[in-house]
Structure 1
Amino acid sequence: MSLRPNTLPPTVSADNPGATKRSLRHVVGWTAAVVAAGCTALAAYAAIYPERMPLAIGTIVEDITGANPQPVHLVLPPQQPLSAVAQLGRQIFFDTSLSASGKQSCASCHSPEHAYGPANNLEVQLGGPHMTDAGYRPPPSLTYLYRQAPFSIGPDQNDMDAAPVSLQQLAASAASVQRAVKTAGVAPAAPAMVPQGGLFWDGRASTLQDQAIGPMLNPVEMANTSVADVAHKLVGAKYLDQFKKLFGDSIANRPDLLVDEAMFAVGRYQLEDPSFHQFTSKYDYWLQGKARLTQAELHGMRLFNDPEKADCAACHLSKPTPDGLPPLFTDTQYEALGVPRNHNLAINKDPKFYDMGVCGPFRDDVKDLTQYCGMFLTPTLRNAATRHVFFHNGVYHDLKHVMDFYNLRNTNPDKIYPKDASGKVEKYDDLPAKYQANIDVADAPFDRKPGDKPAMTDDEIQDIIAFMNTLTDGYKPAGN
């Protein structure tokens, strides 16, 4: 008798409490049969693992009803009116006049209606003076960054009086340490070895304020030629009087300070406005005991967390923190995954060009730390089901292809990578051979070898995707 039945009794719907109520007698009878048939197994299980009995019983309850048998109290961001600075930042965020084309704002690539990601399915966005220049990478979502730490390598320093340690020093001290294997649900030792924190795919911005100025000056995005160029546009903006009220009349005559305060305001808007961190997904409500998951979603969640199967939660942390903060579905660390080259990108038409993430080409402060070449920031999976392109180069357009990559990269690389003229599979074709040792081959499901059975079946992948759909904000639980 299995302690974790995968199906509900025929007349019970996990999504329909009314159906459950109407079928109460059926459920009671079915549950009694389960208990009667499983009592011997439960007794044996209790004799071996007495400390696990509450979990086993809770799992049965979860499987039957779809409810969380151990609801938690989540500590959510406060809901309060925006400060005057954040209100100013909101206007800047939506202002297309701050771009060289006059047609692009922050919201053009970070649409509120699309989880602050792109509103279209382009692999990279168009920008520049005439909105014809292709970008370099897909814009990540701006959601759930309110707890993002600055970029660093290694654990936080505890001695506040000690001299700051440079990234180069930290990387050098980590170079001889074996990389930690990540395990779903267990805090890894990896922070001692790998970069963490920061914004953009390569972590080159440490704060939301730093991040906001990047697109303003990028020649293929908003395409301002200098900070002075941005300041000139701000002086002509309709909200200049708000700047003066907040920072004094002289702000208009101090271009560098004007731009600094403008970008600070954008950062405050992202921190204060609840739409950037809603925590209104079905999974959030399930954690709190306010929603029920379907059998497919429950099964997908277990596979997502299972270190022998998908092992997604090793990097996309799925459990609340010990102090009740809701999970962000990222460990904010960096991984070299070896995704295939996207030959559709204009920047990749040059066969000698490689986007190597942390060690360049769009940041150069750690370019010599070659143990990090090919590493990119692990993004949140919240609202991932609403995205149209995935990974730093936009090579995949749906979650099924993303999951196939994880599942087949090592066992069936011929299904992931192209072949050369001789028919040889060009594995890891988007990273120079001398850096391919950085690619993760230790963590499941990447720990398998060519010819091994893949970690997941297609049906299991579909259930994992069903679970990832529960991470989309805007769910309305019954009774609300």
Structure 2
Amino acid sequence: MKTWIKRIVLALGVLALIGILYAAFAPLPYDDLPPQDKWGAGASSVLPAYSGLQREFPALNGETSPEMAELGRLLFFDPILSGNHAYSCATCHNPSLGFSDGLQTAQLLDKEPLTRNTMTLWNVGYSTHLFWDGRASSLEEQMITPLTAENEMANTPEHLVEHLLDIPEYITLFDQAFGGGRDAVTIENVQAAIASFERTLVSNDSPFDRYAAGQFDALTSSQRRGLNLFRSAATRCFECHSAPTFGSDDFFVTGVPNLEGFPHDAGRAAIVSDGKDGAFKAPTLRNIALTGPYMHNGAFATLEEVLWFYENGGGGQYGLEVDRHIIPIQLSSQERDDLIAFLYALTDESAMPEVPKSVPSGLPVVEQYPNLAREVVDQLNVEVTESGVPAHEPTTVRVGPNETIQQAVDRSGPGDTIEVPYGV
């Protein structure tokens, strides 16, 4: 009897031991698999790095209407705004030059040069701090500075309104936009109209935007690698130039060297008591390929020079105290090329306004210039057909000698077949 009891106890002990071992080594139960469209970036070959990239643009920084914008467009290109009737807004913000002027610092022919580079107007309607130092909080407020500055348009509001009232077509346009006939021709309405036009300069359909919307093939393999670098902790580019605007209304000390012969520029510190000396607004990178030279004083002629500056720690290389985001970066030549290729993928001029052939004053409209950067944009960006689908004839890409499979994938295009030789 005792023998049977011992056997039963022993059997129960063995079963308990088996249970313990199973509990210890059995696979953990799985949670329910989330829907694939909820997977994070890079987690799936179906939903790669574009997943989660889309961001909603902020609200525009003021009102607009078609009538106001059309009046503003004509005023923007009309030299009547300047005191000597020689310069328009488009003189320094030329559409052909990315709504900039292609100069290191702005300069009108008979004026002293300004100390800062001309900022692009693309997506300016999303900014709440205007100018490099952020001294204006609205486009309407911003407009008065170039209108009245002696080394810019050198006009007065009274003089401008007086001349606009001499032009019947403008009286009609102001009435259509604001109502009130001749009484609508005021400096406040000039400001509102030009600001309304500037808010139409929206760039939001670049190859990056199409990629972020789910069109994986909108970026080349080089641009996708560049995007990953841009968003990485190694470069920290995204901390100052975040999507969707790829700019910021914050101010940073990067330590860009002063231009020879120019005084020290205090930047934000000259505007507010708590501003840092040498801090400047982080500009948008949208259409950046079209708007060189770069930085607040145009110190760097090319994007390659800008990258070199940041690779070496910004102004830290000159012993300056720079923002904590600015640290030395180690990039290979391939990574440098990839980053620049990505910056070119932020190019979109689909909302480019029509440059008027003539303006109501009858004064000459600014000339449009060739921009060689557009040729590079066309070379680097994926060709898109009229249907919006990238144009690429699928082919077979064979992994070559001394080449990894990933390298072959990187040089392939949409729809290509990767052929992997035996033994690779």
TM, length-normalised to structure 2: 0.67
8 Å CA contact retained: 2:81, 2:160: yes
Which residue of 104, 109, 115 corresponds with 2:98?
A: 115
Calculate the aligned-residue CA RMSD, in Å: 3.3
Q: Structure 1 residues 477, 108: closer, same or farther in 2, change over 3 A?
A: same
8 Å CA contact retained: 1:285, 1:477: no
3-state DSSP class of the match of 2:300?
Answer: coil
Q: Does 1:203 align with 2:151?
A: no
Which residue of 164, 169, 173 corresponds with 1:242?
A: 173
8 Å CA contact retained: 1:71, 1:289: no
Code of the aligned partner of 1:338: G
2:257 aligns to what? 340
2:221 aligns to what? 295
Alpha-carbon shift at residue 370 of structure 1 (Å)? 5.3
Alpha-carbon shift at residue 141 of structure 1 (Å)? 0.8
2:268 aligns to what? 358
- Paired with 1:55 and 1:242, the residues of 2 have a C-alpha distance of 51
Alpha-carbon shift at residue 291 of structure 1 (Å)? 4.9
Q: Deviations 1:91-148 (Å, cap 9, x if unpaired)?
A: 1111112212322111111122333222xx3212222xx6343122111011112222
Which residue of 147, 152, 165 corresponds with 1:216?
A: 147
8 Å CA contact retained: 1:126, 1:133: yes
Which residue of 317, 320, 330 corresponds with 1:455?
A: 330
1:141 aligns to what? 120
Q: Structure 1 residues 329, 69: closer, same or farther in 2, change over 3 A?
A: closer
Alpha-carbon shift at residue 411 of structure 1 (Å)? 10
1:310 aligns to what? 235
2:412 aligns to what? none
Q: Deviations 1:342-391 (Å, cap 9, x if unpaired)?
A: 11xx6x1xxxx32111122xx4xx2xx25522111111111111122111
- Paired with 2:280 and 2:50, the residues of 1 have a C-alpha distance of 34
Structure 2: gaps spanning 5 or more residues: 1-26, 350-380, 389-424
Alpha-carbon shift at residue 222 of structure 1 (Å)? 1.0
- Paired with 1:286 and 1:340, the residues of 2 have a C-alpha distance of 36
8 Å CA contact retained: 2:171, 2:182: no
Q: Does 1:285 align with 2:202?
A: no
Q: Structure 1 residues 82, 456: closer, same or farther in 2, change over 3 A?
A: same
8 Å CA contact retained: 1:203, 1:377: yes
8 Å CA contact retained: 2:40, 2:52: no
8 Å CA contact retained: 2:288, 2:343: yes
8 Å CA contact retained: 2:226, 2:338: yes
3-state DSSP class of the match of 1:403?
Answer: helix
Q: Structure 1 residues 138, 72: closer, same or farther in 2, change over 3 A?
A: closer
Code of the aligned partner of 1:228: E
Alpha-carbon shift at residue 459 of structure 1 (Å)? 2.4
Q: Does 1:227 align with 2:132?
A: no
Q: Does 1:397 align with 2:298?
A: no
Alpha-carbon shift at residue 60 of structure 1 (Å)? 4.1
Alpha-carbon shift at residue 460 of structure 1 (Å)? 1.3
Q: Does 1:260 align with 2:188?
A: yes
2:391 aligns to what? none
1:379 aligns to what? 283
8 Å CA contact retained: 2:255, 2:316: no
- Paired with 1:57 and 1:380, the residues of 2 have a C-alpha distance of 26
8 Å CA contact retained: 2:257, 2:315: no
- Paired with 2:53 and 2:315, the residues of 1 have a C-alpha distance of 38
1:72-111 alignment runs, 5 A limit: 83-111=66-94
3-state DSSP class of the match of 1:472?
Answer: coil
8 Å CA contact retained: 1:74, 1:288: no
Alpha-carbon shift at residue 394 of structure 1 (Å)? 0.6
3-state DSSP class of the match of 2:99?
Answer: coil
- Paired with 2:333 and 2:47, the residues of 1 have a C-alpha distance of 24
Q: Structure 1 residues 59, 141: closer, same or farther in 2, change over 3 A?
A: farther
Alpha-carbon shift at residue 286 of structure 1 (Å)? 0.7
Which residue of 303, 307, 310 corresponds with 1:406?
A: 310
Alpha-carbon shift at residue 279 of structure 1 (Å)? 1.0
1:7-156 alignment runs, 5 A limit: 54-55=39-40, 58=43, 60-61=45-46, 68=50, 83-118=66-101, 121-127=102-108, 131-149=110-128
- Paired with 1:207 and 1:310, the residues of 2 have a C-alpha distance of 32
Code of the aligned partner of 2:257: P
- Paired with 1:409 and 1:470, the residues of 2 have a C-alpha distance of 25
Percent of paired sites with the same residue: 27
- Paired with 2:211 and 2:266, the residues of 1 have a C-alpha distance of 38
Alpha-carbon shift at residue 332 of structure 1 (Å)? 1.8
Alpha-carbon shift at residue 76 of structure 1 (Å)? 10
Alpha-carbon shift at residue 250 of structure 1 (Å)? 5.1
Q: Structure 1 residues 62, 306: closer, same or farther in 2, change over 3 A?
A: same
3-state DSSP class of the match of 1:330?
Answer: coil
Which residue of 254, 269, 292 corresponds with 2:197?
A: 269
Alpha-carbon shift at residue 458 of structure 1 (Å)? 2.9
8 Å CA contact retained: 2:41, 2:52: no
- Paired with 1:241 and 1:228, the residues of 2 have a C-alpha distance of 19
8 Å CA contact retained: 2:57, 2:245: no
Q: Does 1:477 align with 2:387?
A: no
Q: Structure 1 residues 83, 410: closer, same or farther in 2, change over 3 A?
A: closer
Alpha-carbon shift at residue 410 of structure 1 (Å)? 6.0
- Paired with 1:260 and 1:459, the residues of 2 have a C-alpha distance of 51
Which residue of 366, 388, 402 corresponds with 2:292?
A: 388
- Paired with 1:87 and 1:99, the residues of 2 have a C-alpha distance of 20
Code of the aligned partner of 1:260: E
8 Å CA contact retained: 1:98, 1:234: no
TM, length-normalised to structure 1: 0.59
